[in-house]
């Protein structure tokens, strides 16, 4: 075994957090957030240690540092704030602090009444050493202290060596010649705030026409902007807007054969009119699309575009680049399958083609084209069926040019695959929320997302429904079931979305028993929606989204905490904004869409900044009313046919009983 470069470096740095897969992948933050870093820093023997957290922006050469604070058991902590979109780097440096060690030992010897004359001379040498690294003013002060410690002909006076000001100055100028630098520079990807907090509304533009049976246009779509904005959404998400193939076009209800007039699936992309950079001619022109993006921005909405890397048999790439598709032994191109399901109207791309490099560039350029049209958010369809290496390269390439671009991963697949995609660069991710219904399921899953290392790289975006997913809970739960899932999505997640207007209007009829597909699915036909229906959840959506905008606690995921209840059908959790005595919201949800449920919640008062001997006020942001609670145990009763949940703003101040609707 070879000798180390310098065996005199005695400090060990390990157990660094956050660090993803030994630094292979970055962590994620948004502007204004802190990066709290901890590490085990220790050495042999009993010497005093010191360490620093170093950080810098990728675009800057100069490093900045903050001192780390000792916790317990050789654990240290420090933090820094990320202020700009882009990448940051951080690492840790630790060293033996000879001055701090000398000072601590001097104090012990003085307290024991020992002769410290030699110790003062040792200290003088250490102070001289620090003075050699100090600026002129501090150097002069340090040298004066050293002279006092060496003053001959008088009894040893240790007070100068124990002076607090001396320690503060001397420790500014440590000897780093034998410092240990952590072996890795770790990376933080910093996004804009919408990566953490966003509220999505999905709408098919072709169904926006006012007249039944007419194909909608972007101009029609513009008329929906006030409706979506007034409900409090900020992302206006459009399914694919490209030309749709004619060959093997699917009919209504996903029938394998289309009839005249069937509009086909928007995910069967490409025709003679163009491919992934083309626009379906019945929707309008590129100028019309750009106008929609501009009008949406004026309404406070940001347009998100669906990117699905698959082709209809009519896509120009099938003719121009046949090598990008896999062929079967009979010479035909392999269409998409999920046995026993067949999707003859879709050709997957072959990421093992010999021409993979050109394929990668073409797919990257699709994103760049739409970025030129002022789109900055992309929902990516089925990214788990494309090469991991492609996504890492493409997202890095795009964000290097446009760091404000965000990517939502629509990958309903195995957990490790979903997490890998997030590590590779996707800003947000779909989740298993659609299939987590019980108290135990929700608690276990969201504790994993918000309370483990996963929170450092995986940002969940919760969807109670999608054009592909009509969960059983919505099929059988009626209007209360939709309300329950809406409240859960909007409060468990800082980002959530709905496929509308199907959601607020309670569209819940499956194609067949046991199916999660919609009967008369909008994926295959034009729809007309009565958004003024009295059964609509529009008002509840608006109230919830207003609460989300007003309360910073609901704009974060990592502060989520579950609280016990004595009824398995009542779920209770809280969120805070992370600041002492800051914004806090408590949510209690009846998970039963049929029956009224009641019981007691057990709050962790200390975590919410509440004294156990003082009453506190909670205000219901959904149903209105103020309640005075006291102690950790409080009673709730929720009727699903009225409102199945409390979303309670916590007020720590106390007023009088007359101000409240209920006094516990």
Say which CATH number the domain at 451 has. 3.20.20.80
Q: Does residue 467 sit in the same domain as residue 544?
A: yes
Q: State residue 486 phi and psi, 5-degree precision.
A: -65, -50
Name the percent of the chain lying above pLDDT 90.
Answer: 92
Tell me the average pLDDT across 512-525.
96
Q: For the segment 201-255, what is each residue's pLDDT rounded down to a tens digit?
A: 999 999 999 999 999 999 999 999 999 999 999 999 999 999 999 999 999 999 9
Q: Does residue 123 sit in the same domain as residue 233?
A: no
Model pLDDT, residue 156: 64
Taking the model in full, what pTM does it have?
0.95
Q: Does residue 204 sit in the same domain as residue 297?
A: yes
Maximum C-alpha span of the chain: 111
Distance CA 354, CA 292 (A): 39
Q: Does residue 633 sit in the same domain as residue 498?
A: no
Which of 521, 554, 587 represents a domain boundary (last residue)? 554
Instruction: Choose the weakest-confidence range: 150-164, 352-366, 517-531, 575-589.
Output: 150-164
In a domain, 330, yes or no: no
Q: Does residue 20 sit in the same domain as residue 43?
A: yes
Distance CA 498, CA 508 (A): 14
User: How far from chain centre, in Å, is Cα 193?
Assistant: 10
User: How far from chain centre, in Å, is Cα 232?
Assistant: 20
Model pLDDT, residue 664: 43
Domain residues for 64? 12-97+178-190
Q: Which residue has the tokens 């124990």?
A: 162
381 is catalytic: yes
In a domain, 344, yes or no: no
Distance CA 598, CA 569 (A): 9
Distance CA 510, CA 468 (A): 11
402 by Cβ neighbours in 10 Å (0-12 / 13-18 / 19+) ranks as middle
Catalytic residue among 222, 381, 504, 522: 381
Contacts of 431 (CB under 8 A, 6+ apart): 418, 445, 449, 460, 461, 462, 493
Structural domain total, the chain: 4
Q: Does residue 406 sit in the same domain as residue 523?
A: yes
Average pLDDT for the chain: 95
Say which CATH number the domain at 650 has. 2.60.40.1180
Instruction: Choose the weakest-confidence range: 338-352, 490-504, 507-521.
Output: 338-352
In a domain, 362, yes or no: yes
Of the pLDDT bands very low, low, confident and very high (cuts 50, 70, 90), residue 560 is very high
Q: Which two tokens stand for residue 314?
A: 């009519």
In a domain, 420, yes or no: yes
Name the percent of the chain lying above pLDDT 70.
Answer: 98
Q: Does residue 388 sit in the same domain as residue 308?
A: yes
Tell me the average pLDDT across 413-438.
98
Preceding omega of 498 cis (within 30 degrees of 0):
no
Q: Does residue 481 sit in the same domain as residue 577?
A: no
Q: Does residue 148 sit in the same domain as residue 252?
A: no
Q: Does residue 442 sit in the same domain as residue 566?
A: no
Catalytic residue among 410, 504, 507, 557: 410
Instruction: Provide the CB-side half-sphere exposure for 120 (13 A, CA).
Output: 23
Pairing of strands 86-96, 75-81: unpaired
Give the CA distances from residue 514 to residues 46, 444, 478, in Å, rounded to whole numbers and listed in that order. 67, 26, 17
Q: State residue 153 phi and psi, 5-degree precision.
A: 75, 20
Give the CA distances from residue 616 to residues 126, 547, 577, 634, in Å, rounded to whole numbers and listed in that order. 56, 20, 18, 11
Say which CATH number the domain at 66 has. 2.60.40.10
Q: Could you tell me which of 489, 483, 490 has the C-alpha nearest to residue 508?
A: 483
Model pLDDT, residue 660: 47
HEC string of 322-368?
HHHCCECCCCCECCEEECCEEECCCEECCCCCCCHHHHHHHHHHHHH
In a domain, 345, yes or no: no
Model pLDDT, residue 654: 62
Model pLDDT, residue 4: 87
Q: Does residue 400 sit in the same domain as residue 512?
A: yes
Distance CA 331, CA 74 (A): 65
Q: Which residues on adjacent β-strands are paired with residue 217?
A: none
Q: Are 295 and 225 in contact (CB under 8 A)?
A: yes
Contacts of 110 (CB under 8 A, 6+ apart): 116, 158, 162
Q: Does residue 445 sit in the same domain as residue 378?
A: yes
Model pLDDT, residue 657: 53
Tell me the average pLDDT across 164-176.
94
Give the CA distances from residue 560 to residues 428, 491, 608, 612, in Å, rounded to whole numbers and listed in that order. 18, 10, 11, 21
In a domain, 562, yes or no: yes
Distance CA 118, CA 222 (A): 84
Q: For the segment 643-664, what is each residue's pLDDT rounded down to a tens digit?
A: 999 999 999 876 555 554 554 4
Say which CATH number the domain at 131 has. 1.20.58.80
410 is catalytic: yes
Model pLDDT, residue 155: 56
Q: Are 556 and 196 in contact (CB under 8 A)?
A: yes
In a domain, 322, yes or no: no
Q: Which residues on adjacent β-strands are paired with residue 314?
A: none
Of the pLDDT bands very low, low, confident and very high (cuts 50, 70, 90), residue 158 is confident
Tell me the average pLDDT across 287-305.
98
User: How far from chain centre, in Å, is Cα 103?
Assistant: 46
Distance CA 289, CA 527 (A): 21
In a domain, 137, yes or no: yes
Q: Which two tokens stand for residue 40?
A: 């085990």
Q: For the segment 259-283, what is each residue's pLDDT rounded down to a tens digit?
A: 999 999 999 999 999 999 999 999 9
């Amino acid at each position: 075994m070879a000798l180390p470069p310098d065996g005199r470096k005695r400090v060990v740095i390990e157990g660094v957090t956050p660090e993803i897969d030994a630094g292979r992948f970055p962590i994620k933050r948004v502007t204004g957030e802190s990066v709290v870093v901890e590490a085990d820093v220790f050495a042999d023997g009993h010497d005093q240690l010191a360490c620093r957290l170093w950080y810098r922006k990728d675009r800057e050469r100069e490093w900045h540092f903050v001192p780390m604070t000792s916790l317990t058991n050789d654990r240290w902590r420090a933090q820094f704030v990320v202020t700009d979109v882009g990448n940051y780097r951080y690492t840790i440096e630790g060293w033996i602090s000879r001055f701090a060690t000398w000072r601590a030992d001097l104090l012990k010897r003085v307290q024991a009444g020992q002769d410290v004359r030699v110790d003062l001379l040792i200290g003088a040498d250490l102070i001289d050493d620090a003075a050699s690294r100090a600026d002129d003013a501090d150097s002069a002060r340090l040298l004066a202290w050293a002279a006092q410690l060496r003053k001959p002909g008088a009894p040893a006076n240790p007070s100068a060596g124990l002076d607090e000001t001396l320690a503060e100055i001397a420790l500014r100028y440590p000897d780093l010649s034998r410092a240990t630098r952590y072996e890795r520079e770790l990376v933080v990807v910093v996004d804009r705030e919408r990566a953490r907090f966003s509220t999505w509304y999905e709408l098919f533009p072709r169904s926006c026409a006012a007249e039944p049976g007419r194909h909608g246009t972007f101009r029609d779509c513009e008329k929906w902007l006030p409706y979506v904005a007034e409900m409090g959404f900020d992302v206006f998400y459009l399914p694919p807007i490209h030309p749709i193939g004619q060959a093997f076009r699917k009919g209504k209800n996903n029938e394998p054969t289309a009839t005249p007039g069937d509009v086909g699936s928007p995910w069967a992309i490409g025709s003679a009119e163009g491919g992934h950079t083309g626009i379906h001619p019945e929707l309008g022109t590129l100028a019309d699309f750009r106008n929609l993006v501009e009008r949406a921005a004026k309404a406070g909405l940001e347009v998100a575009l669906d990117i699905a890397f698959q082709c209809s048999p009519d896509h120009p790439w099938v003719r121009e680049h046949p090598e990008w598709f896999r062929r079967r032994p009979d010479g035909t191109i392999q269409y998409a399958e999920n046995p026993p399901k067949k999707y003859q109207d879709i050709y997957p791309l072959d990421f093992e083609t010999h021409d993979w490099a050109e394929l990668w560039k073409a797919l990257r350029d699709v994103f760049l084209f739409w970025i030129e049209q002022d789109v900055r958010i992309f929902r990516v369809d089925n990214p788990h069926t494309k090469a991991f290496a492609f996504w890492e390269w493409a997202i890095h390439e795009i964000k290097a040019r446009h760091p404000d671009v965000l990517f939502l991963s629509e990958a309903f697949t195995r957990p490790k695959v979903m997490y890998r995609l997030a590590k590779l660069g996707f800003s947000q991710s779909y989740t298993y929320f659609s299939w987590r219904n019980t108290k135990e399921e929700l608690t276990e899953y969201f504790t994993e997302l918000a309370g483990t290392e996963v929170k450092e790289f995986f940002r969940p975006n919760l969807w109670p429904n999608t054009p592909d997913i009509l969960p059983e809970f919505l099929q059988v739960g009626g209007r209360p079931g939709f309300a329950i899932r809406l409240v859960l999505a909007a409060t468990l997640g800082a980002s959530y979305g709905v496929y509308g207007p199907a959601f607020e209007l309670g569209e819940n009829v499956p194609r067949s028993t046991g199916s999660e597909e919609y009967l008369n699915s909008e994926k295959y036909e034009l729809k007309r929606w009565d958004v003024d229906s009295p059964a609509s959840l529009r008002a509840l959506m608006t109230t919830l989204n207003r609460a989300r905008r007003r309360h910073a606690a609901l704009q974060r995921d990592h502060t989520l905490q579950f609280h016990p209840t004595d009824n398995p059908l009542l779920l209770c959790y809280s969120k805070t904004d992370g600041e002492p005595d800051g914004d806090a919201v408590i949510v209690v949800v009846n998970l039963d869409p049929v029956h009224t449920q009641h019981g007691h919640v057990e709050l962790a008062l200390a975590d919410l900044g509440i004294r156990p001997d003082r009453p506190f006020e909670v205000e219901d942001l959904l149903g209105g009313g103020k309640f005075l609670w006291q102690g950790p145990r409080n009673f709730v009763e929720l009727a699903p046919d009225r409102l199945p949940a409390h979303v309670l703003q916590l007020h720590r101040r106390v007023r009088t009983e007359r101000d409240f609707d209920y006094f516990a």
